[in-house]
Amino acid sequence: MKTLYIVRHAKSSWKEAGLEDIDRPLNERGKRDAPEMGKYLKQQGVKPDALYSSPAKRARKTAQLIAAELGFDKEKISIQPLLYTFNTNVEAILNFIEQLPDEQQTVMLFGHNPTFTELANHFTHQHFTAENPTCSVVGLQLQTNNWKNCTRAKVNLHLFAYPKMPGK
């Protein structure tokens, strides 16, 4: 079985006018939410083998803050330009997932909406009817032993969490 976590970046700042989108940082809420989600994931027993992030500053920082809580070396976070996308066509990301090394059992991807909600919907057959909130995590268990077959595997939604979720 493979486990895939689809993580939308935490809340970002729009304070600096003229700042390129890729350079937007987290705002104060985002800086609080990401470690909180990391602690929650640790309580759930999440132990990733690999973290892949969009090159956007807000996604990278979210990945770093969550990685710190999970005890994952932030220097080992792989930056993947193809995760910096905002369209609803997820084929490129699906191709990327299919190429992941099979020794990686549990993988976390950090990126953006609407793409990441569409990616979650691809695997869950439209479970998510609205865009997932900032710093949300969708955890999927894929009934396969290799990533190449992930798009044809039976999928269980085993976790959906976000910072303001009641009872989290």
Domains of the chain as residue ranges with CATH: 2-161 (3.40.50.1240)
Task: Annotate 114-135 with three-state secondary structure.
Answer: CHHHHHHHHHHCCCCCCCCCCC
CA triple 160-37-93, angle to 5 deg: 60
State the average pLDDT over residues 31-60. Answer: 98
Segment 80-103 mean pLDDT = 96
What is the rounded average pLDDT of the residues 12-38? Answer: 94
For 121-154, b/e burial (b = at least 16 CB within 10 A) is: bbbeeeebeeebbbbbbbbbbbebeebeebbebe
Average pLDDT, integer, range 121-126 = 92
